[in-house]
Amino acid sequence: MATGTDQTPEQLDRVVIRFAGDSGDGMQLTGDRFTTSSALMGNDLATFPDFPAEIRAPAGTMAGVSAFQVHISDHDILTPGDSPNVLVAMNPAALRANIDVLGKGATLIVNVDAFDERSLTKAGYDSNPLTDGSLGAYIVYEVPMTSITQEVCKEAGVKPRDAERSKNFFALGLVSWLYTRPTDPTIEWIEKRFADRPEVAEANTRAFRAGFHFGETAELFESNYEVRPATFPKGEYVQVTGNQALAWGLIAGAKLAGVPLFLGSYPITPASDILHELSRRKEFGVRTFQAEDEIAGIGAALGAAFGGSIGVTTTSGPGLDLKSETLGLAVNLELPLLLVDVQRGGPSTGLPTKTEQADLLHAMFGRHGETPVPIVAAQTPSHCFAAAIEAIRLAIKYRTPVILLSDGYLANGAEPWRLPDIESLAPIDPGFATEPNHTEPDGTAKFWPYVRDELTLARPWAPPGVPGLEHRIGGLEKEDGSGNVSYDPANHEQMVHLRAAKIAGIARDIPEVEVDDETGDAEVLVIGWGSTFGAIAAGVRRVRAQGKKVAHAHLVHLNPFPTNLGEVVGRYRQVLVPEVNLGQLSLLLRAEFLVDAQSLSKMQGVPFRAAEIERALMNLLGGA
């Protein structure tokens, strides 16, 4: 490892670093590179990109601050960390926007060149925090990042204004030294990424090296640190974001079913990266369709499903509202369809780049009529892969639209992922209809589109192209069996019950919910769903470390619930439901099981911290 220092680095078991700067400062890229180096070193990690909706808010303002938080450790971790140990602030606004989340005694590395009067004013500072004593509780390193970067780039013939843009690589170099990250992968990456702009590659490399050497030689830092590799189970690992894993899961699911994958989608944050990733993978036969609107995205997906593809649509926020009409049609047509909702803050446009879990009740009930839809929720970035396969499995097996819930935190967050054994993934049988399934009284063979499988209650999937299976389906109520239009009252009631029973019956086909309860006699059950998994599990660990007994269960299937859920929630004296909404799962649990499920709510556009779960649990236990 090219640390280039004689000092022995001090050992740390974990560290949380937050890179913050202007939207145009390249903080996401800096954080991402640091994360990759750490992954390659074998650390466990979790990341939290936190950026504004504006592409370029006015430079230097609080509104324009973009941050990337990464937690690296030598042991298994579950969250991107509650409070950063290190904040890299590229300007006064970045400092001011992030100082409140820092723990006392944390390290601040600031780009002192950016702390001029104008920038301080823009950030809303009356006086310079570097000199007015307000940062007394922190260890502050003032580093002239801009001027050193300009200096080293000048020698490469890069103009000062262009050179200034490489200062994020200086910061990356400095932090790489501070935490003894290898330099080679980053330099190789720079060369590859900027291969067509050699002068930019040169400037970035110089800035990166200058930052690294600054740490080594400036004698500013007392020591550097090392976070040793974590002990992982054997296997091959990659670093993956939720959106990436989800896109790969869609490809895998379609492949397991042996049907083509069609994505109909309209660009929307933070779901768009799934469209981007799939549009690059045409060699898998994936068709991606950037539709004229959200409605056409799901409409085209449904049309593809009628034709025998697995139709997928991806969306976020208000896009979900626009899908409702077609989802209802898909429920009536009983065709396999997958809607991926990468939840973000609402209502309306809300907080486009911030995370939230407030679409659960919409997913459950957001359609007119009795219109049940199975719901699957991913709980970590890498789990998005398995969740996507599971959603496709249910959609195909039960001929139904399925909603897969992810969120902004999972979508952009990254973690190491032990690659699954692809060969071990279970195939999915599309079970296309091949022959007539009904005999008329006069003996003629006919195809009836709504004859159901006795076990699953699923109807046949009969894409066009097969002689003898011609049939017409539509959004009008069907006659049970024949599928002909029917306004018969008794038939309608029968069909409503059949559709409900089909979805409810999925409960027999999904695993029971597992309860993490070490001793089996915990006082409190914490139950969650989706991306709260990491924070809840970490919070539970902390409470257990204090000798308390708590149980944790986490739901992947939200509709229908696992068959043992009622028994599980009824088993504990207290049930706590942390959600990034106002208590949607707790409402469902109360309604379904008549339990006093208590909601722990957070609505700040950011995930729970482990400490918040810990505090809530300690309060409950204290009062017990």
Partner 1 sequence: MTSTAIPVTTRKDWTSDQEVRWCPGCGDYSILAAVQMLMPDLEVRRESTVFLSGIGCAARFPYYMNTYGLHSIHGRAPAIATGLATTRPDLDVWVVTGDGDALSIGGNHLIHALRRNVRLTILMFNNQIYGLTKGQYSPTSEVAKVTKSTPFGSVDAPFNPISLALGAEASFVARTHDMDRHHMQEVFRRAHEHNGAAFVEVYQNCNVFNDGAFEKITGRDVRSSMLIPLMHGEPIRFGAEGERGVVQRPDGRLEVVQVTDVGEDALLVHDETRDDPSLAFALSRLSHGPHEPTPIGVFRSVERSEYGAEMSRQIVDAQERKGPGDLASLLRSGSSWTVD
Please give the Cα distance from 361 to 356 (Å, whole number): 13
Per CB under 8 A, which region of 96-104, 302-310, 509-517, 596-604 contacts partner 1? 302-310
Residue 2 Cβ vs partner 1, minimum distance, rounded to whole Å: 17
Please give the Cα distance from 167 to 574 (Å, whole number): 52
Is residue 432 part of the contact set for partner 1 (CB under 8 A)?
Answer: no
Contact positions with partner 1 (CB under 8 A) in 256-285: 260, 262, 264, 281-285
How many residues are given for the chain? 624
Is residue 248 part of the contact set for partner 1 (CB under 8 A)?
Answer: yes
Is residue 235 part of the contact set for partner 1 (CB under 8 A)?
Answer: yes
Is residue 442 part of the contact set for partner 1 (CB under 8 A)?
Answer: no
Q: Which residue among 195, 419, 501, 582 contacts partner 1 (CB under 8 A)?
A: 419
Is residue 392 part of the contact set for partner 1 (CB under 8 A)?
Answer: no
Residue 193 Cβ vs partner 1, minimum distance, rounded to whole Å: 13
Four-point Cα dihedral 206, 212, 213, 214, nearest 10: 100
Contact positions with partner 1 (CB under 8 A) in 482-511: 484-485
Residue 314 Cβ vs partner 1, minimum distance, rounded to whole Å: 14
Closest by CA to 308, choosing from 464, 436, 468, is: 464
Is residue 117 part of the contact set for partner 1 (CB under 8 A)?
Answer: no
Residue 277 Cβ vs partner 1, minimum distance, rounded to whole Å: 10
Closest by CA to 48, choosing from 70, 26, 27, is: 70
Per CB under 8 A, which region of 81-89, 167-175, 308-316, 453-461 contacts partner 1? 308-316
Please give the Cα distance from 540 to 550 (Å, whole number): 7
Please give the Cα distance from 352 to 261 (Å, whole number): 27
The radius of gyration of the chain's CA atoms, rounded to the nearest angstrom, is 27
Q: Specify whether the CB–CB gap between 286 and 457 falls below 8 A.
A: no
Count other C-beta atoms under 10 Å from residue 334's C-beta.
Answer: 25
Per CB under 8 A, which region of 210-218, 462-470, 505-513, 607-615 contacts partner 1? 462-470
Q: Which residue among 103, 468, 511, 570 contacts partner 1 (CB under 8 A)?
A: 468
Q: Which residue among 100, 196, 219, 236 contacts partner 1 (CB under 8 A)?
A: 236
Please give the Cα distance from 149 to 141 (Å, whole number): 17
Is residue 380 part of the contact set for partner 1 (CB under 8 A)?
Answer: no
Q: Specify whether the CB–CB gap between 64 and 83 falls below 8 A.
A: no
Q: Beta-strand (E) ranges in 327-420?
A: 337-343, 375-377, 401-407, 414-418
Of residues 418 and 508, the one with the C-beta less far from partner 1? 418
Q: Which residue among 326, 353, 406, 412 contacts partner 1 (CB under 8 A)?
A: 326
Which amino acid does the sequence have at 141? Y
Residue 242 Cβ vs partner 1, minimum distance, rounded to whole Å: 14
| Strand 310-315 with 14-22, pairing | unpaired
Of residues 442 and 454, the one with the C-beta less far from partner 1? 442
Q: Which residue among 463, 481, 505, 605 contacts partner 1 (CB under 8 A)?
A: 463
Alpha helices in 63-156, H assignment, sequence order: 92-98, 117-123, 145-154
Question: Could you give the 3-state DSSP secondary structure of residue 126?
Answer: coil
Residue 253 Cβ vs partner 1, minimum distance, rounded to whole Å: 11
Contact positions with partner 1 (CB under 8 A) in 145-174: none
Is residue 470 part of the contact set for partner 1 (CB under 8 A)?
Answer: yes
Per CB under 8 A, which region of 134-142, 144-152, 461-469, 603-611 contacts partner 1? 461-469
Residue 483 Cβ vs partner 1, minimum distance, rounded to whole Å: 11
Residue 431 Cβ vs partner 1, minimum distance, rounded to whole Å: 18
Of residues 190 and 589, the one with the C-beta less far from partner 1? 190
Please give the Cα distance from 504 to 611 (Å, whole number): 37
Q: Which residue among 469, 577, 600, 606 contacts partner 1 (CB under 8 A)?
A: 469
Is residue 185 part of the contact set for partner 1 (CB under 8 A)?
Answer: yes
Question: Which one-letter DSSP state was computed for residue 432?
Answer: B
Exposure b/e, 339-373, CB count within 10 A at least 16 = b:
bbbbbbbbeeebbbbbbbbbbbebbbebbeeebbb
Is residue 366 part of the contact set for partner 1 (CB under 8 A)?
Answer: no
Is residue 426 part of the contact set for partner 1 (CB under 8 A)?
Answer: no
Per CB under 8 A, which region of 11-19, 109-117, 322-330, 554-562 contacts partner 1? 322-330
Residue 189 Cβ vs partner 1, minimum distance, rounded to whole Å: 9
Residue 402 Cβ vs partner 1, minimum distance, rounded to whole Å: 17
Residue partners of 77: CB distance under 8 A and separation at least 6: 14, 44, 45, 46, 71, 538
Residue 34 Cβ vs partner 1, minimum distance, rounded to whole Å: 14
Contact positions with partner 1 (CB under 8 A) in 21-40: 36, 39-40
Q: Specify whether the CB–CB gap between 29 and 36 falls below 8 A.
A: no
Closest by CA to 603, choosing from 615, 614, 612, 590, is: 612
Residue 357 Cβ vs partner 1, minimum distance, rounded to whole Å: 27
Q: Specify whether the CB–CB gap between 407 and 356 falls below 8 A.
A: yes
Which amino acid does the sequence have at 100? D
Is residue 438 part of the contact set for partner 1 (CB under 8 A)?
Answer: no
Q: Specify whether the CB–CB gap between 109 and 86 falls below 8 A.
A: yes
Token representation of residue 508: 């027999």
Q: Specify whether the CB–CB gap between 166 and 210 falls below 8 A.
A: no
Q: Which residue among 291, 386, 395, 525 contacts partner 1 (CB under 8 A)?
A: 291
Residue 610 Cβ vs partner 1, minimum distance, rounded to whole Å: 25
Per CB under 8 A, which region of 14-22, 230-238, 403-411, 555-563 contacts partner 1? 230-238
Residue 273 Cβ vs partner 1, minimum distance, rounded to whole Å: 14
The answer to whether the peptide bond before residue 347 is cis (omega within 30 degrees of 0) is yes
Number of residues that bind partner 1 (CB under 8 A): 69
Closest by CA to 97, choosing from 161, 178, 172, 27, is: 27
Question: What residue ranges bind partner 1 (CB under 8 A)?
Answer: 36, 39-40, 42, 185, 232-240, 248, 251-252, 255, 260, 262, 264, 281-287, 289, 291-293, 295-296, 299-309, 311, 325-326, 328-329, 333, 419, 422, 463-476, 484-485
